[in-house]
Structure 1
Amino acid sequence: MVPRRIIRITGIVFIASICFIFLNVSVIVEWRDDVSWIPHRLRHLSNISFWIPLADGKTVFYTNFKFMPFTPKYLINNPNICQNKESLSFLVMVHSAVFHFEQREFLRRTWANKDLLLSHTMRVLFIVGLPQESSVQKRLQIENDQHGDIVQGNFIDDYHNLTHKGVMGFKWISENCKNVKYVIKIDDDVFVNIFYLIETVLPVVEKHPRHIFCYTRVNNTVARNGRHAVDKHYFSGMRRLPFSFCAGPFVLVPNELVVKLYAASLTTPFLWLDDVYLFGILPLVTGNVSLFHLPNCHEDPSNALECFSLKEQCDILAAFAWDGKTMFTLWNYNLRQYNERFLRYV
């Protein structure tokens, strides 16, 4: 006869093992959108073919793996960013690497300064994930205490989790910024000619409420190897994507569409390629949403510096600025070009 003490110990060990497995699987599911880690014998539990409706009324196979909806939790939250104003012109949603402290400060001190414009009100929101080091988290908390413009999600800040940043940003805006007209999504190394945006681009945007404005990618190859590789369960048998999507450095979205894109994300299996998922797949799932190509919002720093330094009026809307010197140089050129016209906006 087995002693009761041994039975009790065995039971405790069994329960603890089950809890350990459950907690670890929960963390993986919450932070990963790639299904390759799931054993093949378990994948059938969630297998269901998902088809994307194309603009011409046809459908195209997306994936046969139905991933559970991503439900982010806010570890740092600033729900009052958009308050105290009946209407805001722009909310700049910045996908920022959690350790990019300098890049965020460059933006606050140049074109994304929330107090820059009077005629067109603007706010900035930095979206980050969890750092690997506790020292970075402490520094982030100090930064947020000073500026109050950061939202942090409960997922690892990693290149493969950029889609999580986007979906969390859509969710947060849907909950807290209903008074914003337009959302400008950028990366934290992007300079935007905000005056050109207001004078030239905005009048076009106002005439196309069901459009997303960006540098569009057309007929892109489906990568199976390399940095942008996707699992074989996505777009199986395809060599090229049968739809367009936005390149992510600069995207302008009417706020009413942000709410709809977030709603679409709740029923659409994830893909870690954020540009393709956020601004390619979700617009198709939403329906009646078109992409408006902006050819001048994806410029290299050298082209932008040449344009702003040599031309009286540079028509570049957005450009990469991979260091502080480039960001401030472009900003100073920008102010100089607009000179007296700048007074209309401040």
Structure 2
Amino acid sequence: MFCRLRTHQWCFIIFNIMLFHSLLFGGDLLEKYFLRSLPVTYTDMKILQIREKARKLDMDPLKTNISKSFIISSSEVCSDQEVFLLTIVSSSPANRTRRNLIRQTWGNVTGIRGYAVLILFALGKPVSEAMQLDISEESQNHGDIIEGNFLDSSENQTLKIVMSMEWTLAFCSNAKFLLKTDEEIFVNIASLADYLLNLKTHLEDIYIGRVIHQEVPDRDPQSKGFVSLSQYQEQYYPDYCSGTAFVISQDVVRKIYVVAKETILLVPPDVFVGICAKNAGIIPIQSSRFSGKKHIRYNRCCYKFIFTSSGMEDDEILKEWREISDGKDCTLLETYYGLVSCRVLTYFDKFKHFNIETIKNEAFRFTN
């Protein structure tokens, strides 16, 4: 049948195949190659000063007064090994069940191809003393808790990120890369580490994740995320990586930390990191293998390729981790099919959610 097709029929089939793939993957290619931030010139005296200050950064004063910044520091966990990828998971004090699940699944990775991987949990102080006792007990059992000397709240999430960078510089400065992620995210450590190991050049100024382009600050005074003009005056935020998960190299940790200590801005935590990165002359790098805030519909070969998926339920993580860690590799064709499959299903979920929200909004307006 295919042999009998005429030229125009073949052209029609090829056109539709190309159209399908451009609709499916075109957005990622557009973000990666055409919507990147313009390079920052290092002749800017301010940027040069920040970089020089980062190079000379001294963390010894913090080490001599650990209790000022940390209630639980776990300062020894990184001292006896050369860490390639340090992962710090932003967690809420009460969510011990989730931390245990991560320890059993994707967080139960200590090395990739002979390179050490270390996974820790970053917390702020809980409200109750009873919960503080539980966290202390958990830390004694697992030795993977970092607890900052500030109240764990939605307003202090920026402090938690800065605290994570501070800990990295003070107690794990030999780590090549830092992955900051959230506890509701599924992370394929093996896939991510393999990608980072294959970076042959330009191993500095690495700031990679799902890049958000030209986001408008929330100017609604009634909104929880309200940002006034006095707090941030620009029309758009600079390009930044979604705070659900991003990777930065050790030199970027130093540069962002230096800027952060001199910056007071009431903006979302991931935006804050993006602003600090821009002020230090660092350009965020887009990777479509980070899901951002999207939940990627499961396919084994798709999940063996991507880095993250958001909004994961406990039973999902356990089931899917068992499947992708079974040792069976995916062929190129299986990976291609898996990516197409999970991308199509994810788009269907997005449209379904959009339609449900639209119906709810219309019903609410009709009721009013």
Provide runs of 4+ in structure 1 moved above 6 Å: none
Contact 1:191 1:330 in 2 (8 A): no
Contact 1:193/1:334, CA 8 A, preserved across alignment:
no
Which of 233, 237, 242 is 2:230 aligned to?
233
Between the aligned partners of 2:326 and 2:201, the Cα distance in structure 1 is 27
Alignment counterpart, residue 108 of structure 1, candidates 81, 103, 107: 103
Are residues 1:95 and 2:75 paired? no
How far apart, CA to CA, are the structure 2 residues paired with 1:206 and 1:190? 29
Give the superposition deviation at 1:207.
3.9
Once residues 304 and 235 of structure 1 are traced to their aligned partners in structure 2, the CA distance between those partners, rounded to angstroms, is: 36
Distance 1:221 1:338, change over 3 A: farther
Give, in whole Å, the separation in 2 of the partners of 1:173 and 1:152: 13
Shift of 1:231: 3.0
Q: Decide which of 290, 294, 297 is 1:297's aligned counterpart.
A: 290
Counterpart for residue 325 of structure 2: 335
Change (3 A) 1:299 1:327: farther
Matches within 5 A, 1:163-242: 163-204=158-199, 207-225=202-220, 226-236=223-233, 238-241=234-237
Tell me, in whole angstroms, the C-alpha distance in 1 between the residues paired with 2:295 and 2:167.
35
Corresponding residue number in structure 1 for 2:339? none
Cα offset for 1:293? 0.2
> Residue 330 of structure 1: CA displacement?
2.3
**For residues 210 and 312 of structure 1, what CA distance do their matches in structure 2 show?**
28
Gap change, CA 1:106 and 1:118, over 3 Å in 2: farther
Identity across the alignment (%): 21
Cα distance, 1:73–1:302 mapped onto 2, change above 3 Å:
closer
Distance 2:151 2:129 in 1: 13
How far apart are the structure 2 equivalents of 1:330 and 1:227?
Answer: 34
Match of 1:84 among 80, 84, 87: 80
Higher helix fraction (1 or 2) = 2
| Cα pair distance change 1:55/1:335, threshold 3 Å | same
Structure 2 vs 1, CA of residues 221 and 272 (structure 1 numbering), >3 Å: closer, same or farther? closer
Task: Specify the code of the residue in structure 2 equivalent to 1:286.
Answer: A
Query: What is the deviation of 1:204?
Result: 3.5
Residues 1:261 and 2:256 are matched in the alignment:
yes
2:265 match: secondary structure? coil
Q: Does 1:320 align with 2:310?
A: yes
Q: Tell me the C-alpha RMSD between the 2 structures.
A: 2.7
Q: Compared with structure 1, are the counterparts of its residues 299 and 151 closer, same or farther at alpha carbon in structure 2 (3 Å cutoff)?
A: closer
Mark the CA change 1:134 to 1:316 in structure 2 (over 3 Å): closer, same or farther. Answer: same
SS of match in other structure, 2:107:
coil
| Aligned counterparts of 1:128 and 1:277: Cα–Cα separation in 2 | 19
Cα 1:296–1:313 shift into 2, 3 Å? closer
Task: Tell me the distance in 1 between the aligned counterparts of 2:105 and 2:99.
Answer: 10
**2:145 aligned with 1:150:** yes
TM-score w.r.t. the length of structure 1 is 0.71
Q: With structure 2 as the length reference, what TM-score do the two structures score?
A: 0.67
Q: Deviations over 1:195-218 (max 9, x none)?
A: 222334542475442120110000
Instruction: Kindly indicate whether the alpha-carbon contact (under 8 Å) linking 2:87 and 2:119 is maintained by their aligned counterparts in 1.
Output: yes
For residues 328 and 140 of structure 1, what CA distance do their matches in structure 2 show?
Answer: 23
AA partner of residue 278 (structure 2): L
> Relative to structure 1, is the Cα distance of residues 115 and 239 closer, same or farther in structure 2, using a 3 angstrom cutoff?
closer
The one-character-per-residue Cα deviations of 1:54-107 (angstroms, maximum 9, x if unpaired) are 93799xxxxxxxxxxxx962111111111111x211110111111110111111
Specify the alignment match of 1:21 in structure 2.
Answer: none
Unaligned runs of 5+ residues in structure 1 are: 1-53, 59-70, 342-346
Q: Following the alignment from structure 1 to structure 2, what is the Cα–Cα distance between the partners of residues 299 and 277?
A: 17
Q: In the TM superposition, what is the alpha-carbon distance from 1:331 to its structure 2 partner?
A: 1.1
Structure 2 vs 1, CA of residues 158 and 205 (structure 1 numbering), >3 Å: closer, same or farther? farther
- Of 279, 284, 307, the residue aligned with 2:278 is 284
